[in-house]
Amino acid sequence: MSKNTVLALVGSLRADSHNRKLAEAIQLNAPEDVDVQIYGSLGDIPFYNEDIDVEGQVPAAAAALRAAAAEADTLLFVTPEHNGTLTASLKNAIDWLSRPYGAGALAGKPTAVVGTAFGQFGGVWAQDEARKAAGIAGAKVLEDVKLAVPGSMIRFAELHPKDDAEVVEQIKGIFEPLTAVQEEEVAA
Ligand SMILES: Cc1cc2nc3c(=O)[nH]c(=O)nc-3n(C[C@H](O)[C@H](O)[C@H](O)COP(=O)(O)O)c2cc1C
């Protein structure tokens, strides 16, 4: 059975990130035919700059991100909200993945966005902005994948999302829309 490979990019660089833990909970609850990998850190990737995006000389961290994203069937951004929008580290990753223009790893890539944030809406502005940027970069945005957990700092202060029954239930609901595109392709 070929697995659907999902690469999770976490939009927080914090060591104790609740979004990284949410990604871990998603990984733990993935069905057997879905392999969720969590990308190490977006923090080592330099700010996007066309002057350093030169074929054959792309910084190693950016090249590694591009290679990992290109290899995955599906991308899953797991991000908090920073000042009403997506985090700088995730936006930077999207910019790297959007180039070369028309041929970046995001082009045509099924991409979904979820996350947790402190505010009462769980970071939906950040998620919408991430969907917008990914879509402009050419990704196939999976609009039906929805998971926005509010109150992160309190809700997950003592409790890992994997042990939060309500969150786990919501996580289980994302896999069908997350993998639908690939299943359609396999069936075609
Ligand atoms: C610079 C900064 C800006 C923030 N802005 C928002 C915001 O606009 N909306 C929100 O819901 N939470 C906001 N927060 C709180 C984060 O959502 C919360 O700290 C979240 O848990 C961070 O994710 P992490 O635990 O994965 O690092 C902000 C936090 C920081 C550090």
**Which ligand 1 atom is the nearest neighbour of the CA of 14?**
27
- Residues in the chain with pLDDT < 50? none
For the chain, the domains span 4-187
- Measured between alpha carbons, how far is 22 from 188 in angstroms, rounded to an integer? 33
Q: Please write down the long-range contacts of 93-97, taking CB distance under 8 Å and 24 or more positions apart.
A: 93/9, 93/42, 93/45, 93/65, 94/130, 94/133, 94/134, 94/137, 95/48, 96/45, 96/48, 96/53, 96/62, 96/65, 96/66, 97/65, 97/66, 97/69, 97/137
Q: What is the tens place of the pLDDT at every residue in 22-64?
A: 999 999 999 999 999 999 989 999 999 999 999 999 999 999 9
Q: What pLDDT shows up at residue 34?
A: 97
- Measured between alpha carbons, how far is 43 from 91 in angstroms, rounded to an integer? 12
pTM: 0.97
What is the CATH code for 4-187? Answer: 3.40.50.360
Q: How far, in Å, from the CA of 96 to the mean position of ligand 1? A: 23
**Which ligand 1 atom is the nearest neighbour of the CA of 115?**
26
Determine which residue's CA is closest to atom 17 belonging to ligand 1.
117
Q: What pLDDT shows up at residue 180?
A: 85
